[in-house]
Structures are given as structure tokens and as C-alpha cells.
Chains A and B, each alone.
Chain A
Amino acid sequence: QVQLQESGPGLVKPSQTLSLTCTVSGASISRGGYYWSWIRQHPGKGLEWIGNIYYSGSTYYNPSLKSRVTMSVDTSNNQFSLKLSSATAADTAVYYCARLAYDSSVYYFDYWGQGTLVTVSS
């Protein structure tokens, strides 16, 4: 069974960098065939895709966040990470990591972490 688990600080000060790590078990990131993603959800709001990373390190980011987002992958520890710079209160959200499966013209997030609330506040 594939499992994903987010970890990182639950409180970040404004202007600092929000950093999260997702640890994957039950599947090997380095095997390929999937993208690994970050998605967030502002309190009481809908889902927002942040970005994807492939095991090779190729990244794809939401254009609205691209200037502040960096994703990386650590295949030796089967983890991938998110960094969001210059955090503001608008970045307060539940952050999910997920696996993105794809096949021709269909893309879907088949496994999700439980989510972690990150609050940006002084």
C-alpha cells in the first residue's frame, strides 16, 4: 500500500521560507512512471495545485506560484520536498503531497498524504 506523509514546521514567520517534506512508503520514487505533487487548500476553500516533480528532478510549477516555489527530490530517502519563499499570511493552508498517475490523456492523484496545516504568522 502506497503511503505519503508530510512533515515540517506548522508555523512559519512572514517573509521566511515554508519548507515541507513528503516521505513515501510502499513505492519507489526512483522507479519512475509517476509525478510527485504538492497541493494546498486554504481554510474553507478549494484545492490548488502547487507543482509536480519527476524522479529525474524535472519540475512543473503553478504559474501563479512559480517565482516562489522550489521542489526537489531525494531518491535515496524516497522523499520529495517543497520550498515556498517569502511566505505571507495568504500561504496559510493545509498542504498535501500526492502521487500523480498518468496514462495518455488522463491524469489523476491516486494517493494522498493526510495533509499538514501550515500557518504563516509572526
Chain B
Amino acid sequence: SSELTQDPAVSVALGQTVRITCQGDSLRSYYASWYQQKPGQAPVLVIYNKNNRPSGIPDRFSGSSSGDTASLTITGAQAEDEADYYCHSRDSSGKHNYVFGTGTKVTVL
């Protein structure tokens, strides 16, 4: 099955920009979706279909994709953006399997 690899942790100064990447073979076939998870809470969808935001998600969140790598960018990070972020896609094996990324802890300084 496919794997999606993310950097374990990144930090960003308040108001600055941070990019989180997700790498895996399945991303050549399927777009990644991205989820934000704060401690003790369920994940929340923040980006899907490469760069679509669900209602209520601030426009400082954006997504992009190239080859086997997807990226989530937070432009003008806020304190409330401190969380774990996971990418996700369907497995490229041709079967209905789904895989999550290893997760990135974002710290806002």
C-alpha cells in the first residue's frame, strides 16, 4: 500500500507563512485532502480537491500539488492555527484503500 510522508514538525512566527508538504506515489493519481486537528478534538477538513476550502475555513489556508508532492500553505499564521495537520488520499494500488500522512505538528511562535 502507499505511504504519505510528512515532516514531523514545523514552526512559524506569528503572521508569517508556513508550508507543509506531503509526499507519496498516490498523489500522482489522486489529489490530497488536508485536515487540522487540535488536541482532544476531531480532525477538521481544511483543503480538498487540490485547493478548495470548505465553508468556514479562512482563506489563509491554501493547497497545491505537483507530481508526488502536495502542499498546504498557511499565509499569515495565527495562534489558533497551532495544531497537527494530516494529508490524505486514496491509495494508488487500484483498490479502495485510503491512507493518511504521518502528520505535521505546526507550532506558532
Contacts and interface: CB of A to CB of B under 8 A. Distances in A.
Interface of A: 37, 39, 46-49, 52, 60, 62-63, 96, 100-101, 103, 105-110, 112-115
Interface string B78-105: 0000000010111000011111111100
Contact of A103 (B49, B86, B95, B97): B49
A49 B45 contact: no
Contacts of A101: 48
Contacts, number: 66
A48 B98 CA distance: 9
A112 B41 CA distance: 10
Given A49-B98, A60-B97, A109 B29 contact: no
A113 B42 CA distance: 7
Nearest to A100: B98
Counting chain B CB atoms within 10 Å of each CB, the highest count among A46, A105, A108, A114 belongs to A108
B42 A115 contact: yes
B23 interface: no
Contact of B102 (A46, A109, A113): A46
